């Protein structure tokens, strides 16, 4: 689980909570206040042995720590690092993705986790940032580690880039905040929100929508695929309906191949 607050000022004392899902047991909490960092963003390596936490210093993006002892292994220092946020590790843990929010030069950068050296950088569209800075709302590596998907606001855009940030494979402008973006497990498509209640899967190769999952009247919030790609789970709820009442939270599971709803959880 990762903590990445939006809006307001991140506070010291934030903790990272983790669970052992097979045993249905919560693991010891990681108190990020002990890292003496800003804790504005964190990234947790799925293998469970690393966590990255951002810094409040203008010339320091943050550092990577071991889990659970929180011993610093490498520091990421860069010029123009203010507004930096960690966005996730590569599947093998050898790289980490960092977003730089800025009115002048917003970009994403990839670093080597073994030594903190920058491997690549890619400048983002800042055409609307004169009023409000361009911000990365979501970003992650593909399952094979060869691509990165990025969603920004000001302007609202979605990019699929090669992992070395040298080439753009797909660009979309759909008008909705890209708060959740997910690659399919086969690395061929990306699932995005295109409507309050629907999730669409876009082919990276053809750049076209190939499948839509509707039927989330409470408003789709987040989604993920099963490891084999056979199912997609979509979480919804928490939005006001036509009468101003908050919609209940629900999770719906669809069969990806047919689009059939197979389960509904409350």
Q: Which two tokens stand for residue 35?
A: 């890292």
What pLDDT, on a 0 to 100 scale, did the predictor assign at position 12?
43
Q: How many domains does the chain have?
A: 2
Residue at a domain's end among 111, 139, 167: 139
My answer on whether 104 and 205 are in the same domain is no
CA dist., res. 145 & res. 161, Å (int): 11
Indicate the pTM of the whole model: 0.83
What's the whole-number mean pLDDT along residues 188-204? 90
My answer on whether 128 and 213 are in the same domain is no
Residue at a domain's end among 139, 166, 189: 139
Establish if 243 belongs to a structural domain. Answer: yes
Q: Which domain holds residue 122?
A: 1-139
Helix, strand, or coil (residue 30): strand
Report how far apart, in Å, the C-alpha atoms of 29 and of each of 1, 9, 69, 93 are.
Answer: 11, 22, 11, 21
My answer on whether 127 and 230 are in the same domain is no
Establish if 147 belongs to a structural domain. Answer: no
Q: Measuring CA to CA, which residue among 170, 136, 168, 176 is closest to residue 152?
A: 136
What pLDDT, on a 0 to 100 scale, did the predictor assign at position 224?
92
Cis peptide bond prior to 78, omega within 30° of 0: no
Task: Kindly report the backbone phi and psi dihedral angles of residue 34, in degrees, each rounded to the nearest multiple of 5, phi listed first.
Answer: -70, -15
My answer on whether 193 and 102 are in the same domain is no
| DSSP string covering 142-175 | -TTSSEEEEEEETTTEEEEEETTSS-EEEEE--S
Digit-coded pLDDT (tens) for 160-193: 999 999 999 999 998 888 888 999 999 999 999 8
| DSSP string covering 93-160 | SSEEEEEE-BSS--EEEEEETTT--EEEEEEPP-TTTTTS-BEEEEEEE-TTSSEEEEEEETTTEEEE
In this prediction, residue 6 has a pLDDT band, given cuts at 50, 70 and 90, of very low
My answer on whether 29 and 126 are in the same domain is yes
My answer on whether 229 and 118 are in the same domain is no
CATH number for the domain that contains residue 110: 2.40.128
My answer on whether 51 and 123 are in the same domain is yes
Establish if 166 belongs to a structural domain. Answer: no
Establish if 169 belongs to a structural domain. Answer: no
């Amino acid at each position: 689980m990762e903590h990445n607050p939006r809006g307001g000022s991140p506070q010291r004392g934030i903790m990272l909570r983790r669970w052992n899902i097979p045993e249905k047991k919560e693991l010891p909490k990681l108190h990020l206040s002990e890292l003496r960092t800003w804790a504005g963003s964190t990234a947790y390596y799925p293998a469970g042995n690393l966590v990255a936490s951002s810094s409040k210093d203008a010339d320091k993006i943050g550092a990577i720590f071991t889990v659970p002892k929180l011993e610093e292994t490498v520091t990421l220092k860069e010029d123009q690092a203010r507004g930096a946020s960690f966005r996730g590790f590569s599947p093998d843990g050898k790289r980490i993705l960092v977003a730089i929010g800025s009115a002048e030069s917003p970009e994403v950068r990839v670093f080597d986790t073994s030594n903190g050296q920058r491997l690549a950088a890619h400048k983002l569209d800042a055409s609307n940032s004169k009023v409000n800075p361009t911000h990365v709302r979501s970003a992650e590596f593909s399952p094979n580690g060869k691509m990165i998907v990025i969603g920004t606001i000001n302007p609202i855009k979605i990019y699929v880039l090669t992992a070395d940030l040298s080439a753009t494979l797909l660009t979309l402008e759909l008008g909705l905040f890209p708060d959740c973006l997910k690659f399919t497990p086969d690395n061929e498509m990306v699932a995005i929100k295109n409507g309050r209640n629907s999730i669409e899967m876009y082919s990276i190769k053809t750049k076209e929508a190939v499948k839509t999952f509707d039927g989330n009247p409470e408003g789709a919030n987040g989604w993920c695929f099963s490891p084999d790609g056979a199912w997609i789970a979509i979480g919804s709820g928490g939005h006001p309906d036509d009468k101003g009442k908050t919609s209940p939270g629900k999770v719906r599971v669809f069969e990806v191949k047919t689009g059939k709803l197979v389960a509904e959880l409350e």
